[in-house]
């Protein structure tokens, strides 16, 4: 079994949202900074880290510098999602060292952009995230 720890970032801090609502964010500053937390997961045996850039997903900036710091600090693959809406952003994350990028609603809302990302980066670098509620995707 592969267990993949997820680190959600808001304003350069590790966070969790209650039901996806940024008004109800709580932060894990007591555990350390994002790099420290990622290294903790690696030392616990994680084989892959999943990072979600919530600022980018919410359209209010990004955490590209922190993501780069995490990738450079680890010796395991890092996949990144959250607010990837262009070929440029997808390429930026791969060039930063992300092993894969995670695409969500873009795959359905803008299939032409999604196909361009696939052509640019290849199928092996892309994960599609599907959410469902009450049996609907």
The pLDDT tens digits for 55-73 are 999 999 999 999 999 999 9
pLDDT confidence tier of residue 22, bands split at 50, 70 and 90: confident
The pLDDT tens digits for 39-58 are 999 999 999 999 999 999 99
Which residues, in sequence order, are CB contacts of 49 under 8 Å at separation 6+? 4, 5, 6, 7, 38, 41, 42, 70, 74, 76, 77, 78, 79
pLDDT value, residue 133 = 75
pLDDT confidence tier of residue 83, bands split at 50, 70 and 90: very high
81, 103 Cβ separation under 8 angstroms: yes
For the chain, give the mean pLDDT: 95
pLDDT value, residue 21 = 84
7, 33 Cβ separation under 8 angstroms: no
Helix (H, G, I), strand (E, B) or coil at 27: strand
Q: Which CATH architecture has domain 6-128?
A: Alpha-Beta Barrel (3.20)
pLDDT value, residue 23 = 86
pLDDT value, residue 85 = 96
The residues spanned by each domain of the chain are 6-128
pLDDT value, residue 70 = 99
Active-site residue identified among 21, 124, 131, 134: 131
Which residues, in sequence order, are CB contacts of 108 under 8 Å at separation 6+? none
Catalytic (active site) residue 131: yes
Active-site residue identified among 8, 53, 55, 62: 8
Catalytic (active site) residue 124: no
């Amino acid at each position: 079994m592969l267990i993949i720890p997820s680190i959600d970032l808001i304003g350069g801090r590790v966070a969790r949202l209650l039901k996806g609502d940024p008004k109800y964010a709580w932060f894990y500053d007591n555990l350390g900074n994002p790099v420290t937390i990622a290294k903790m997961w690696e030392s616990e045996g994680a084989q892959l880290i999943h990072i979600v850039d919530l600022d980018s997903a919410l359209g209010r900036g990004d955490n590209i510098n922190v993501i780069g710091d995490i990738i450079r600090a680890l010796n395991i693959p890092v996949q990144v999602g959250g607010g990837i809406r262009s070929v440029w952003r997808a390429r930026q994350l791969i060039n930063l060292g992300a092993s894969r990028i995670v695409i969500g609603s873009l795959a359905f809302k803008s299939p032409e952009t999604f196909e361009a990302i696939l052509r640019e980066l290849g199928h092996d670098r892309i994960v599609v995230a599907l959410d469902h509620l009450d049996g609907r995707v």
